[in-house]
């Protein structure tokens, strides 16, 4: 049933194909960041043909949610239907309705934004558990899809449910944003033909979020689009930040405090450092919030080379949040041509350098493909040493990305964003040599060390460039 107009999502459609081919009840869980295209995927795959579909309403009471259920039941059955007293009555009515449908055909039920239906003291989840265990799981032709943007709720209440839904899901899909290659394909499908440099910069602003990309105007340049969507007065996306966090997380103010703290340091903070920065207690609640941010794709939990889990670094990884803190928080509507005017500003260069690192870390598979190690098991991490911890009191050292391979080769990756070929001069070559020496001495690594440069347009060939063992360029990330 895969829809032809879908860009990417091949694996997700394949998994849905497998669910449709099974001769037993299917409980499909689909979750992921808000605006990532979950509803579009399901609507496109099933071509809008559902036996029953219900969408939760954000911030509304149980009574309003049940009224919405009754309205949808009336539309689907073309018959009078009274508002149920509670969710047990609602699911009982859904059961009665499904029993009237032919058992020889697949029955597709889609509950979208499920977490919004679970209001305080509404007993939605226990009622759903009763429905599935007493009826749904035994109905061999039933495919029940539940979807939600509140990834923390979907993970805790459904995917990792320890109660009545324990191990009940038959398919669990976390929908990732588009890759660079998928973003390029999506833009081409909309008649947008930009250079890969512009596509990459656009990605560094929006990430591969289909909804954001759908707002781009094909008649305007990349820079004009950014001004129009973010810096124009009352632009579509200038106030997206508050709405995004408030609809995804309860106690959203605390989540925003964590994001603000992580924005201060590109290499990230440990949990203890986050607790000090935010003044939040260093306890299980903070650990859960960090896990929720990680599960939602807003934060990357990143290993520090050869360190224990407690020294995990947490980095702000959401492109929109990084862009918001750098450019939008203090200047809504102040300069409607800001992005075009700031083409070569120091703040924009600093943002591009930082965010290009994030982009590379989100395309590890493509980097490994270019390096010819796609089939080699590896772990990714970062590393730094402070000046006070070295014999050289003048300088510390940092490596942006380390790919530690099972074949005992370690790629030490330097990531550089440049509008031209990146030129290594004598000073830069010495700096790279010092980094490698500091890494080897500090870590005691016995692997073969391979200096890998990841740049936009490659390394300019000169007398110092031969020190580089391998290169990855922007085009490779579109693979």
pLDDT digits over 265-310, tens only?
888 899 999 999 999 999 999 999 999 999 888 999 988 887 766 6
- How far apart (Å, rounded) are the C-alpha atoms in residues 206 and 186? 14
- Decide if 334 contacts 375 (C-beta within 8 A): no
Number of Cβ within 10 Å of residue 473's Cβ equals 18
SS3 content of the chain, % helix, strand, coil (to 5): 45, 15, 40
**Percent of residues, the chain, with pLDDT higher than 90:** 75
Cβ neighbours of residue 393 under 8 Å, at least 6 residues apart?
387
DSSP annotation string for 115-182: GGG--TT--HHHHHHHHHHHTGGG-TTEEEEEEES-HHHIIIIIIT--STTTTT-SEEEE-PPP-HHH
Give the pLDDT of residue 133: 93
The yes-or-no verdict on residue 251 having pLDDT over 50 is yes
CA 151 to chain centre: 11
- Helix H or strand E segment including 107: strand 107-112
Taking alpha carbons only, the member of 255, 241, 245, 244 closest to residue 323 is 241
Pairing of β 52-55 and β 26-31: unpaired
- How far apart (Å, rounded) are the C-alpha atoms in residues 416 and 425? 14
State the Cα angle at 242 between 241 and 245, rounded to 5°.
85
Q: Which pLDDT band, with edges at 50, 70 and 90, does 344 fall under?
A: confident
CA dihedral angle for residue 183, residue 188, residue 191, residue 197, rounded to 10 degrees: 70
Q: Which pLDDT band, with edges at 50, 70 and 90, does 393 fall under?
A: very low
Written as six digits, the tokens of 139 are 């109905």
Q: What integer is the mean pLDDT of 443-458?
A: 95
- Decide if 112 contacts 53 (C-beta within 8 A): yes
> Which domains, from first to last, does the chain contain?
10-174 (3.40.50.300), 180-238+332-355 (no CATH), 241-324 (1.10.10.10), 364-477 (3.40.1350.10)
Mean pLDDT of the chain: 91
Cα separations in angstroms, 172 against 11, 147, 304: 12, 10, 29
pTM over 0.85: yes
Cβ neighbours of residue 283 under 8 Å, at least 6 residues apart?
none
Answer with the residue of higher pLDDT: 396 or 327.
Answer: 327
- How far apart (Å, rounded) are the C-alpha atoms in residues 405 and 35? 35
Which DSSP category does 420 fall into? S
Helix runs in 7-144, H state only:
10-21, 38-45, 62-77, 87-99, 124-134
């Amino acid at each position: 049933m895969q829809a032809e107009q879908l860009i990417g999502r091949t694996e997700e459609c394949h998994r849905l194909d497998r669910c449709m081919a099974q001769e037993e009840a299917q409980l499909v869980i689909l979750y992921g960041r808000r605006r990532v295209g979950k509803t579009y995927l399901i609507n496109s795959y099933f071509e809008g043909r559902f036996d029953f579909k219900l969408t939760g309403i954000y911030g509304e009471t149980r009574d309003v949610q049940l009224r919405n259920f009754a309205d949808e039941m009336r539309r689907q059955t073309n018959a009078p239907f009274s508002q149920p007293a509670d969710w047990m009555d609602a699911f009982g009515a859904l059961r009665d309705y499904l029993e009237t449908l032919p058992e020889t055909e697949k029955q597709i039920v889609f509950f979208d934004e499920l977490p919004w239906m679970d209001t305080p003291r509404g007993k939605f989840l226990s009622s759903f558990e009763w429905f599935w265990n007493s009826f749904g799981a035994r109905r061999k032709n039933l495919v029940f899809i539940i979807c939600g943007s509140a990834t923390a709720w979907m993970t805790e209440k459904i995917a990792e449910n320890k109660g009545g839904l324990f191990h009940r899901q038959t398919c669990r899909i976390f929908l990732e944003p588009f890759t660079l290659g998928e973003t390029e394909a999506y833009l081409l499908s909309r008649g947008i033909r930009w250079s890969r440099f512009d596509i990459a910069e656009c990605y560094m602003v929006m990430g591969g979020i289909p909804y954001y990309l759908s707002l781009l105007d094909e008649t305007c340049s990349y820079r004009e689009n950014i001004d129009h969507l973010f810096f124009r007065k009352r632009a579509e996306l200038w106030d997206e930040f508050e709405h995004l966090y408030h609809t995804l997380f309860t106690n959203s103010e605390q989540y925003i405090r964590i994001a603000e703290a992580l924005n201060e340091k590109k290499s990230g903070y440990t949990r203890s450092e986050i607790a000090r920065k935010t003044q939040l207690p260093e306890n299980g609640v903070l650990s859960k919030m960090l896990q929720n941010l990680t599960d939602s794709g807003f934060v990357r939990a990143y290993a520090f080379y050869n360190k224990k889990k407690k020294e995990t670094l947490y980095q702000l990884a959401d492109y929109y949040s990084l862009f918001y803190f750098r450019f939008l928080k203090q200047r809504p509507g102040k300069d409607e041509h800001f992005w075009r005017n700031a083409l070569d500003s120091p703040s924009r260069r600093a943002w591009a350098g930082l965010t290009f690192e994030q982009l590379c870390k989100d395309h590890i598979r493509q980097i490994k493909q270019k390096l010819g190690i796609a089939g080699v098991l590896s772990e990714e991490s970062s590393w730094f040493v402070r000046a006070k911890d070295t014999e050289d009191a003048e300088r510390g050292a940092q490596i942006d990305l380390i790919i530690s391979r099972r074949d005992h080769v370690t790629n030490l990756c330097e990531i550089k964003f440049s509008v031209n070929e990146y030129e290594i001069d004598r000073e830069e070559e010495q700096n790279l040599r010092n980094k490698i020496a500091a890494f080897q001495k500090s870590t005691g690594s016995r692997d073969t060390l391979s200096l890998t440069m990841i740049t936009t347009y490659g390394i300019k060939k000169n007398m110092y460039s031969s020190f580089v063992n391998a290169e990855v360029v922007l085009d490779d990330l579109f693979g």
